Amino acid sequence: MDSLTDSIKEDLKSAMLSKNNFLRDTLRLVTSEIKRFEVDNRKNPSVEEVISILKKMAKQRKDSINQYRSGGREDLAEIEVKELEVIEQYLPQSFSGEELKKSIQQIINENGFSSMRDMGNLMKILKSQHPNAEMSEASSFIKTLFS
């Protein structure tokens, strides 16, 4: 068992002892996703796999927030925002903003990319150099550069 999973389980125990129901329930969702991975793959997940599970859960929350807000359900969106904040505590700092733009520009300059046809290769290089990059942000930035 890795330290990230242990940390999540310890925080779950603390939340149970302090009777923090929201944190407890959110961490139970996280541990159930990790358990599902263990059952499906018949192995304990590595740190990278746990991070992947957490990223997937964070993406689901972001999508839900957008849907709830567009549907006028701010109450449900707030719940998702709080869950997202809990999940993001366990994720490594994402690579975004100006740092991401500089890195993309550097990759474009080094490889001579010039059109949307190069986007796949550009994204592949970006992902290998910066695994914590915010890929949706990178994609939209690249589209504005090449259009």
- 9 pLDDT exceeds 80? yes
> Mind listing the pLDDT tens digit for each residue in 109-136?
898 888 889 888 988 988 888 877 778 8
Burial label for 37, CB within 10 Å (0-12, 13-18, 19+), is middle
The tokens describing 134, both together, are 């915010």
Predicted pLDDT at 35: 95
Angstrom distance (rounded) from CA 20 to CA 4: 20
Average confidence (pLDDT) over 54-71: 94
Range in 4-13, 54-63, 131-140 with the lowest mean pLDDT: 131-140
Angstrom distance (rounded) from CA 78 to CA 64: 10
- 73 pLDDT exceeds 60? yes
SS3 64: helix
Angstrom distance (rounded) from CA 107 to CA 112: 8
Torsion (CA) 57, 118, 109, 98 in degrees, nearest 10: -30
- 1 pLDDT exceeds 60? no
Predicted pLDDT at 85: 94
> Mind listing the pLDDT tens digit for each residue in 87-113?
999 988 777 778 888 888 898 889 888
Report the percent of the chain where pLDDT is more than 70: 98
Predicted pLDDT at 130: 80
Predicted pLDDT at 2: 64
